[in-house]
């Protein structure tokens, strides 16, 4: 519960939180699961403009394709 998380876009200027703080104070997370699902399903948010680029980049944590580099360069 004390795991640090870093919000990507907090409108109140907070740069770090914890899982425990979010469970206690985030209005979406202080409700039961059914209410949470209802809230999230009805936000009517537009499809994020850069999501098709951002998600694949996040999945590899910024690492480049190392298979394209010579083995000698990697081992040095």
What number is the average pLDDT over the span 13-28?
Answer: 90
Confidence of residue 4 (pLDDT cuts 50, 70, 90): very high
Q: Does an H or E element contain 2, and which?
A: none
Q: What tokens appear for 55 in the block?
A: 């998600």
Q: Which pTM value belongs to this model? A: 0.54
Range of the domain at 47: 4-75
pLDDT digits (tens, 9 = 90+) for 44-66: 999 999 999 888 888 887 566 66
DSSP string, 20-51: HHHHHH-TTTSS-HHHHHHHHHT--PPPPTTH
* CA–CA distance, 38 with 69 (Å, rounded to integer): 47
> Count of domains in the chain?
1
């Amino acid at each position: 519960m004390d795991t640090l998380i870093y919000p990507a876009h907090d409108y109140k200027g907070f740069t770090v939180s914890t899982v425990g703080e979010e469970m206690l104070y985030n209005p979406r997370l202080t409700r039961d699961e059914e209410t949470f699902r209802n809230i999230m399903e009805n936000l009517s948010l537009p499809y994020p403009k850069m999501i098709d680029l951002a998600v694949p980049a996040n999945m590899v944590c910024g690492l480049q394709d190392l298979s394209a580099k010579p083995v000698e360069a990697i081992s040095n």
